[in-house]
Amino acid sequence: MGTSKASGVFTRAFHVSPEVSRRFRFEEQTAFVQTYGLHEHLKRLVREITEAGRYTGRMRKVTASREALGVQSHLTLLMVPYTISTMIEDLGASLPPRLEACEAFSAQPASTDRFADVVEQYRRLSDFDAQRHPRARASQYQVCLAYLNAPWNEERITEIVRDEKTVRIVRDEHGDPLRQVLVKVHPTWDIHDDRLLPKEEKLLEELDRALSEGHGISVMIAHVGRGIQQRLTWLIDRHLGKGAARTCTAPARRREAWYAQAVRDDVKAIIPHPRKLRTGLDLIHYPWIYFYQPVSNLYTMIQAKGRAWRLGQRWPCETHFFYYQDTEEHGLLQQQADKMIADNLLRGGDLSGGLMGMGQQMSSVEATREALAQGDLWHLGVLLEQEAIGDWVPKEQIEAYDRARRAERRAKLSALRERDLEAMQTSFQMSLF
């Protein structure tokens, strides 16, 4: 039905289905979502902020209810008589071939290599033992992902300082958290250094190959605040002339106009963050997409890498993933490959080739494969319950879990009603005096 939520179906269902228009008025979309949609209750920790806007150092739990992805099964049955299913072949159109490949670069160069000093500083960051400082692991992971691609920055592994007695965050005179620097590495290159990193050298070669085919390329960057976009823009402009590369800074409502202007200006390479182009744009003139850095969000990556493979595309499409071997980038791509395998198991897609060739067949993938092979997967919600329950469980246990969860919710609502009723009675009695 072209959407993933019941709220997105309502307008079409109201106009095409007599049952929906008879039961709901057009302004009753909320009631329609409550009847045919799915809902989830999220519990998360948020920072406790004072009225002055300062963080107290404590966290509190907040429960929020929102519409979840998916619709009730009976809505699908309701819309089937008014739905037409087509394939691209039915439209008389075809798509060009599509290639997906992973490009590995060595992170162990010779001592005389131009890249050796960068790797040496990276090893200082990567070899840091975070067991004694577990709160510094996220900082270490991000700087390790960034330094091999941006050695012109000073990178630090830091940890927020906490009071030993109260465990509260220590703050400076401006109210900002104090950070202890555990490891610091200095820049080894300049952002306008004439030397080329291994990825940069390969990217320029691929750009020349794309121009010989008559089109441009898209270069996806994960870290936009470390000067990687500026560096690549400077390299490509020096290689092809000023204006050959352009970064995407336009807001969402002006992104299509930005892309159209880039095509008119004959820009050879666009360098955005994948989130900027993951939906709403068809990169017809830039059919070759290069992930200069891996992206941690699987949905963003899948959407971004398919932007060029659209109806009307006349060039073969290619997607390349650049990574340094045996580094954090390598591990992140392997994790994304495992997630893609699990996703394609559910959708019936191909399980080999391209990025999925790096998959390590994690346990959840094997559980999914076994459930599908045995025919025990009665509902996709079985797999979605994995985070709430643990490993995959049979249908009876899922139903028991759902009954217990609904009973707990009813008990909470009943307790709230009783508390409100007592408050009303107390207020009424006070008013009598």
pLDDT mean over 399-409: 74
pLDDT band at residue 387 using 50, 70 and 90 as cut-offs: very low
Please check whether residue 95 lies inside any domain of the structure: no
Q: How far is Cα 292 from Cα 329, in angstroms, rounded to an integer? A: 10
Domain closes at, from 185, 205, 232: 185
Summarize pLDDT for 304-334 with one digit per residue, the tens.
Answer: 988 898 888 889 999 999 999 999 999 999 8
* Interstrand relation of 288-291 and 245-247 (parallel, antiparallel or unpaired): unpaired
In this predicted structure, the answer to whether residue 86 has a pLDDT above a threshold of 60 is: yes
- Give residue 390's pLDDT: 38
Residues 6+ apart with CB under 8 A from 262: 246, 270
Q: Are residues 239 and 343 in the same domain?
A: yes
Q: Are residues 293 and 322 in the same domain?
A: yes
Q: Are residues 173 and 207 in the same domain?
A: no
Please check whether residue 1 lies inside any domain of the structure: no
Q: Are residues 167 and 201 in the same domain?
A: no
Q: Are residues 226 and 337 in the same domain?
A: yes
Q: Are residues 168 and 48 in the same domain?
A: no
Please check whether residue 368 lies inside any domain of the structure: no
Q: Are residues 266 and 155 in the same domain?
A: no
Q: Are residues 318 and 224 in the same domain?
A: yes
Q: Are residues 71 and 160 in the same domain?
A: no
Answering whether pTM is above 0.85, one says: no
**Residue 334 domain boundaries:** 100-105+197-351
Q: How far is Cα 220 from Cα 270, in angstroms, rounded to an integer? A: 9
- Give residue 109's pLDDT: 78
Q: How far is Cα 339 from Cα 361, in angstroms, rounded to an integer? A: 9
Q: Are residues 266 and 386 in the same domain?
A: no
Please check whether residue 50 lies inside any domain of the structure: yes
In this predicted structure, the answer to whether residue 204 has a pLDDT above a threshold of 90 is: yes
pLDDT band at residue 386 using 50, 70 and 90 as cut-offs: very low
- Give residue 384's pLDDT: 39
Q: For residue 345, report the phi and psi dihedrals to the nearest 5 degrees.
A: -60, -40
Domain closes at, from 140, 162, 185: 185
CA dihedral over 231, 234, 239, 243, signed as positive or negative: positive
Domain closes at, from 301, 317, 351: 351
Q: Are residues 138 and 172 in the same domain?
A: yes
Q: Are residues 210 and 335 in the same domain?
A: yes
Whichever domain contains 327, its CATH number is: 3.40.50.300
Query: What's the structural domain count of the chain?
Result: 4
Please provide the average confidence, as pLDDT, over all residues in the chain: 82
pLDDT band at residue 276 using 50, 70 and 90 as cut-offs: confident
pLDDT mean over 122-143: 90
Please check whether residue 363 lies inside any domain of the structure: no
Please check whether residue 360 lies inside any domain of the structure: no
pLDDT mean over 410-431: 74
